[in-house]
Amino acid sequence: MADAPLAVEGADLGYPGRLVLRAVSLAIRPGEFVAVLGANGSGKTTLLRSLLGFVQPLAGRIERAPDLRIGYVPQRETLDDRYPLTGRDVALLGTWGDVPFWRRLPGSARSRVREALDACGAREFARRRYAQLSGGQRQRILIARALATQPSVLLLDEPTAGVDQASEAAILDALADLRRGRGLAIWMVTHHEEAVRDRVDRIARVADGAVALEERP
């Protein structure tokens, strides 16, 4: 686990009074593509939230490299359509973590967003209202926002849920390109095993209160 930007060592994960996952040990390796699979309620989201640092382990530990930056792509349904934001505005949020509140946004932040939108194939529709974009287009915008944070690890929560097959393939291709081009470690929660099986390096199966990792040939 020495080179891992993020490692979980013998951690019990869950919430006070509710253990969800027991004795989890795993390491996120640089540049790998991992699918996190499991039934509804199996603990996938708890694992993701623990990796993000939103949930503290009940026992054991989660170690993060000091320079770790996680790009997080939430389920798009969690975002409110009524905000008057364009796709580009949403992607721009990814750069705000680096700018103190009293400073104006530097030009470099805007060019970073342009690059991120290009990398996700989202530039052509980025000027449209976020609320008016299709599910697949919104997902690309959210991935671009995560990229704009300049992450070393990308965590995605069901990025292909509710999108058509063509959009799903396009999103998975874009992720594979990002992994290759930028050396990003990508962990993605999904229900679609068929769609990801041939694209990922490992599968993390979450079931019966445990996480089992399978290497892909």
Partner 1 sequence: MMEILSPDFLFRNAVVGGWIVCVLCAVLGVYVVLRRLVLLGVALPQAGAAGIALVFFATGHSHGTPGQAHTVALGGSLAATFTALGLLVLAGRRSTQPVELRIGGILAIAMSATLLFVALSPTGDLEMTSLLRGELLAISDRDLLLLAAVASLIAVIFVLFRRELLLVSFDPEFARTIGRDPTRYDLVLYLLLGAAISIGVMTAGPMVVFAFLVLPALAALRLGLSMAMTFAVAAAIATASSVGGFALSYRADLPAGPVYVMLAAVIWLAVSGAMRALRRSA
CB of 83 to partner 1, least distance (A): 5
Q: Which stretches of the chain bind partner 1, using CB under 8 A?
A: 52-54, 70-72, 74, 78-80, 82-86, 89-90, 93-94, 96-97, 99, 101-102, 105, 129, 145, 149
Q: Which is nearer to partner 1, 25 or 83 (CB)?
A: 83
CB of 124 to partner 1, least distance (A): 19
Distance CA 131, CA 83 (A): 8
Q: Which is nearer to partner 1, 86 or 190 (CB)?
A: 86
Q: Which is nearer to partner 1, 94 or 203 (CB)?
A: 94
CB of 215 to partner 1, least distance (A): 28
CB of 134 to partner 1, least distance (A): 18
Q: Which is nearer to partner 1, 36 or 48 (CB)?
A: 48
Please say whether the beta carbons of 81 and 36 come within 8 A.
no
CB of 70 to partner 1, least distance (A): 6
